[in-house]
């Protein structure tokens, strides 16, 4: 469903796309997910939090009837104390080889105490069957 846009004149990343085109229709906006499990326990450390946050994003996608392959955009917020390279490596490991458009940024802090990462997603949903 998602078309990846990677102009030859730009850097060809093996892990993200420069742009994505989502077909018109239904769109899922996944609110910011932290490294908190179903019991409300925050994972320890940036790698564990990134892994859990991505698992949470994937749970929302599944509940909405879509998959990570239908994600047009991820936004990753990292606490300014985090080493972005460590977080990036963890996100590639957890997200897989999907060349999703991604924006990552360092922020002064996140709203959830102890959170080092927050991840949002925008996904294209399959059309609902006619009733």
Q: How do beta strands 3-5 and 71-79 pair?
A: unpaired
* Structural domains of the chain, ranges and CATH numbers in brackets: 26-124 (3.30.1330.40)
pLDDT digits (tens, 9 = 90+) for 13-62: 888 899 989 888 889 999 999 999 999 999 999 999 999 999 999 999 99
- Of 125, 123, 118, 117, which Cα lies nearest the Cα of 32? 118
Full-model pTM: 0.88
Residue 83 burial by Cβ neighbours in a 10 Å radius (0-12, 13-18, 19+)? exposed
H/E run at residue 86 = helix 84-95
């Amino acid at each position: 469903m998602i078309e990846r846009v990677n102009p030859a004149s730009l850097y060809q990343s093996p892990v993200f796309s420069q742009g994505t085109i989502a077909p018109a229709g239904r769109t899922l906006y996944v609110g910011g997910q932290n490294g908190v499990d179903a019991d409300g326990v925050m994972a320890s450390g940036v790698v564990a939090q990134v892994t859990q946050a991505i698992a949470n994003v994937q749970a929302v996608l599944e509940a909405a009837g879509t998959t990570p392959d239908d994600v047009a955009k991820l936004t990753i917020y990292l606490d300014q104390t985090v080493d972005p390279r460590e977080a990036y490596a963890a996100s590639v490991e957890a997200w897989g080889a999907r060349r999703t458009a991604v924006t990552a940024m360092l922020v002064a802090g996140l709203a959830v105490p102890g959170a080092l990462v927050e991840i949002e997603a925008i996904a294209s949903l399959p059309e609902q069957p006619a009733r």
